[in-house]
Every structure is written in C-alpha cells, then in structure tokens.
Homo-oligomer: A and B are copies of this chain.
Amino acid sequence: MKNKLKVLRAEHDMTQQDLAQAVEVSRQTINAIEKGKFDPSLVLAMKLSRLFKEDIETLFIYED
C-alpha cells in the first residue's frame, strides 16, 4: 500500500509530530505508515482522510 501522507503533510506544513497529535496516534505510528512499515487501521485512515479532506482512496493506494 502506497500513500501520500508525506506530501500532504508538507503541503499543510506539518511535522510528523503535528500530524500524530491531530489524529491521536504516536509519532512513530505516522512515521511507520509513511515508510510503508504497515497500513493504518480503517479508523486512522478515516481521520487522516477527514483532516486532509481527501478520499481514503486517493490518500491510500492499494493495488492487490
């Protein structure tokens, strides 16, 4: 699964820490997701989607 977190974070001028706080997870979780270590839960994906006002599918790209 690929994602556009790093770019959106840059566009919104946020640090990983800022984003982590905004969606109520740890900084390490944001870092791990950006680095592709694991996928976010559905709830976290929804929080990020709402924050950045982007569809989940545009934020996270899953190709089988």
Contacts and interface: CB of A to CB of B under 8 A. Distances in A.
Contacts of A49: 57
Nearest to A40: B42
Interface residues of A, number: 14
A51 interface: no
B41 A39 contact: yes
B41 A41 contact: yes
Interface in A1-36: 1
Nearest to A46: B62
Interface string A39-64: 11111011001000001110010100
A57 B48 CA distance: 13
Contacts of A43: 1, 39, 62
